Amino acid sequence: MSGALALALVAAGVIAGYWFGARRRTADLPSELAPAPAAPARPSLSPAQVLRGEDLAGRAERDARELAEELRPYLVDVMRQHGAVEVTLWRHAGGDGAVLEIAAWSGDGPPPAAATWGTVPERALVAWSAAEQMVGFERRDGEPRIAICPVRFASGEPAGAIVLAAADRFATARDALRDWLPRHAAQVGRLASLFAARNEVARQSRFTRALLRIARDLQRAHEPDALERSLCDYAVEVTGGEFAILLRWDAAQRAGRVAAFSEQAPRAMRDGVVTPGSVAGTACLEGSASFWEDARFLAERGGLLRDDDGGVVAGSMAVLPMMRGSAAMGALVVGASRPGVLRALEIRNGSVLSALAVNALEASWELAETSRRSRTDALTGLWNRRHFDEQMERVLHETDRFGGSCALVICDLDYFKKVNDTYGHDAGDAVLQQVSAVLRDGVRTVDICARLGGEELALILPQTSYEGAMELAERLRQRVEATMVPHAGVAIRVTVSMGVAIYRAGDDAKGGLFKRADENLYAAKHRGRNRVVG
């Protein structure tokens, strides 16, 4: 980058000095020889378009037009110096060294098509001179009427040829013209090289600005969910993939989980843990990006996220670890259904994106973890009373807004004091932890499972009917009853009593929901415990 920048600065000085003189020399030219108006401004592109190069065709067309305009004043000078009627610059078309096109000329407007220029023998002479890297002349009555000199870039790579055409003869004698042609060709090669260097620096600048815009947008997404989703969406855009999945990796535990995914992500990859033996887990452990342009054989290597998931059939796949120091804190998995959709250049964009997102993600995850701990019961891992109260208010509000009903279940361990007195408080803690795990594992992800205090636990069930709440509570009661808690060589059996209450949208008794559930819990205790009352 520094070399390109230095070259661009030199280019700016050389071109500016030359064009200043060229503009003075051509100020009195007739209008048909005056430089054409500057090319229109480049259209604004989104960061993803810049990074993916979606404007490749348009950019190549603009570059060709601008190169023709940049070289035209010099070609006009050459034309006037030697009494030519036209000077053209021919270059190799695309990557085909055998095909030439006219890239710039001394006339007004776009350069003519190579196929319509001159005669067939004249075009063949231009192609021969460019291919053999030799000066060539086409004579008429012993005098050269067309003069051709091969052009090389500043790097020495063949670029094409410069062609001078006269009406009858040139103002410069043939021997002098033979001396001048290599000088003109060398100058055109230098100018073309400097123009390319300038464009490369401009492209790198656009690339950097695009990355900065994405980094800024990611930094503004303070909520972890919003940041994670944005990162997946950006990964799809800048790589050209069809889906992206964000993994969160715990280097100490050698395990991870799916944190977020884009809209088109396969269902089998939308949740669950990430194991160290999987393709993604191995990439996180090794801290190195993996890219498969044709990923159909990946199923033979085992699971993509888990050892036993059988792999996900995909045509193209990349796993891009997100490194914090020497350890991975996560990874972006990008994929497409067809081979060859993902390319190495665009996967590089994904790697840059993952590196940019590290700081924002780390800060967001740390803040989320701090917030979670402030709302989590340290012993059981359930939500605490503060979070329970906030979520209860939210669920009631959403029930009124969207209709339906919600349920509250309050649970209390039976004879818990006897457990503490008989086996000790360590045993009581173990029982609380085991019962909490039974409740947490037995509810939906949208349900809220909290510890209210002591041995009292609660479940908030959004969009749940009375029958659904009673059925869930009974199922959980039976699971707790069947659970034996091992501690200090003994197996402790416990039961729970549960009180259930329902709130239906629009009811007047919103504020009494907790009281009704608590009263039903008291009734369950009074009727002999180990039962559900609603």
Torsion angle (degrees, nearest 10) of CA 363, 285, 254, 320 = 50
Residue 369 bears catalytic tag: no
Pairing of the two strands 255-261 and 273-274 = antiparallel
For the record, the structure tokens of 2 come out as: 């520094």
Query: Which residues have CB under 8 Å from 341's CB, separation 6+?
Result: 240, 241, 242, 315, 316
Residue linked to tokens 């795990």: 437
Q: Are 311 and 292 in contact (CB under 8 A)?
A: no
Sign of the four-CA dihedral 240, 241, 247, 252: negative
Pairing of the two strands 158-165 and 243-250 = unpaired
The CA–CA distances, whole Å, from 329 to 321, 333, 350, 359 equal: 8, 14, 16, 11
State the Cα–Cα distance between residues 360 and 370, nearest whole angstrom: 15
State the Cα–Cα distance between residues 155 and 200, nearest whole angstrom: 15
State the Cα–Cα distance between residues 221 and 232, nearest whole angstrom: 13
| Residue of 70, 101, 237, 455 marked active site | 455
Q: Are 405 and 506 in contact (CB under 8 A)?
A: no
Q: Are 530 and 495 in contact (CB under 8 A)?
A: yes
Q: How many CB atoms lie within 10 A of CB 502?
A: 22
Question: For the chain, how long is the longest CA-to-CA vector?
Answer: 125
Residue linked to tokens 């979606």: 54
Q: List, in sequence order, the alpha helices (H) in 336-410.
A: 344-374, 385-402
Distance from CA of residue 234 to its chain's centroid?
A: 4
For the record, the structure tokens of 356 come out as: 């940019």
- Give first-to-last CA distance, the chain, whole Å: 72
Pairing of the two strands 143-152 and 290-292 = unpaired
For every residue of 248-297, which 3-state class applies, written as one string? EEECCCCEEEEEEECCCCCHHHCCCEECCCCHHHHHHHHCCCEEECCCHH
For the record, the structure tokens of 64 come out as: 């060709």
Residues marked as catalytic: 455
